[in-house]
Chains A and B, each alone.
Chain A
Amino acid sequence: MSSRINDYNIFCVVGSDTVRNRSRSLYAEEGSREKMIGAGKMKQYTNVLDKPLSKGRQEVSLSGFAYLFSELVQYNQTQVDNIGELERRLEDAGYAVGVRVLELLCHREKGNRRETRLLGILSFVHSTVWKVLFGKVADSLEKGTEHEDEYMISEKELLVNRFISVPKDMGSFNCGAFVAGIVRGVLDNAGFPAVVTAHFVPVDGQQRPRTTILIKFAEEVLRREARLG
């Protein structure tokens, strides 16, 4: 039972054009019957893959999201013994979100074009992904000076951290690990494996530190990038 559940049994499938998800759908054999139930009612799609993809304009209140996120963090706190584990679990949750965000946005915003260059995917994350998820582009995208494979996306205040305060005894724990997971999910599935972490960076003159998402790309990405010239 447990192995089947680990096989992504609940998943968010996206649109009707994503072949990969169609093959994963456990409802494939049921087909796509549409039921008309009475005049004037919404068309019922039994297969979620047949529903038209939303335009992405719908909104919920920030506080609703903040409550949900706080429950996510609180639940994970009960499941772990130390901070590292907690960050890892939040990252894993974010990873799943990132995977789906990539598919959704590639289909909807970019017309199914794939990014193959490093700067391309980074600006996709920094602009498109951030704009859709958080309503604004990220504050800055920088290249690390010490290492070739490091890039940083900075944000003055991450949306997810707006209503979170970290107690002193949790040290450098950052709920931005969720966002780091989202970025890792996007990059991994776009073919740019990387290690992504979130850090607080104190800024002179500001009370709250700003958050930096540090992206460290894998060797193969840099080699490929060098080959492509």
Chain B
Amino acid sequence: MAPAVPRSGDAIFANVERVNAELFTLTYGAIVRQLLTDLEEVEEVNKQLDQMGYNIGIRLIDEFLAKSNVTRCVDFRETAEVIAKVGFKMFLGVTASVTNWDTEGTCCSLILDDNPLVDFVELPDTCQGLYYCNILSGVVRGALEMVSMKTKVTWVRDMLRGDDAFELQVKLLKQVPEEYPYKDDE
């Protein structure tokens, strides 16, 4: 059987079932609003959003690997490219670009052209510390952790806070070698 060829993000997105982005946007807004009402502290909400994103990420990676047929990434550069071009396109329908590589190749920035989570949204003065899209940083962190990469993902620029783009910084902390759950000699 011929080896599966990795598919481009557009091709996969055209093949998956899609829903209206507005339902997605409004549901996310409802989630953030519920969190703010329950937790009241902006820092807590940020943490909770990141945790929710992490929970999504650890499950999302399975679907991503199944649908996209990507081969094992040789290095972190390739990983970042795959996330930006295939991953974001497949789930959110938008592409991201990868920039700002540091000298060792362990830290880069993903710039999102378009962010369906923030349509119609404006941050009021009382919530200026809120990273509204923090769920995305959790998703990336969770997904990468399931493929043995411990990362730190933070928002560098956020349009809701007045910057001119959405920039997510992904820093590779370490590669965790895969552990077998069973010992060989048992």
Residues of A within 8 A of B (CB): 1-2, 4-6, 9-14, 25-27, 35, 37, 41, 44, 46-49, 54, 56, 58-65, 67-72, 74-76, 79, 89, 92-94, 96-97, 100-101, 104, 132-135, 159
Q: How far is the CB of A47 from chain B (nearest CB, A)?
A: 8
**A/B interface sample: 18 pairs, CB < 8 A:** A2-B40, A5-B40, A9-B36, A10-B127, A12-B25, A59-B93, A60-B19, A61-B91, A63-B91, A64-B91, A65-B19, A65-B24, A72-B34, A93-B33, A94-B30, A96-B26, A100-B29, A132-B20
Enumerate chain B residues within 8 angstroms of A12, measured Cβ to Cβ: 25-26, 29, 119-121
Report the bound CA distance from A119 to B82 in whole Å: 50
- Where chain B touches its partner, the secondary structure class is helix
Known contacts being A9-B126, A71-B55, is A59 close to B164, with CB within 8 Å?
A: no
CB-based A-B contact count at 8 angstroms? 158
Enumerate chain B residues within 8 angstroms of A41, measured Cβ to Cβ: 164
- Where chain A touches its partner, the secondary structure class is helix
Tell me the nearest residue of chain B to A37, going by C-beta: B164
Q: Which of A49, A61, A74, A89 contacts B92 (CB 8 A)?
A: A61
Is B75 an interface residue when CB atoms closer than 8 A count as contact?
no
Is B179 an interface residue when CB atoms closer than 8 A count as contact?
no
Q: How far is the CB of B114 from chain A (nearest CB, A)?
A: 8
- Total interface residues on B, CB under 8 Å, equals 50
Tell me the nearest residue of chain B to A98, going by C-beta: B26
Enumerate chain A residues within 8 angstroms of B52, measured Cβ to Cβ: 71, 75
Tell me the nearest residue of chain B to A5, going by C-beta: B36
Contact B122 A97 (CB under 8 A): no
Report the bound CA distance from A97 to B20 in whole Å: 13
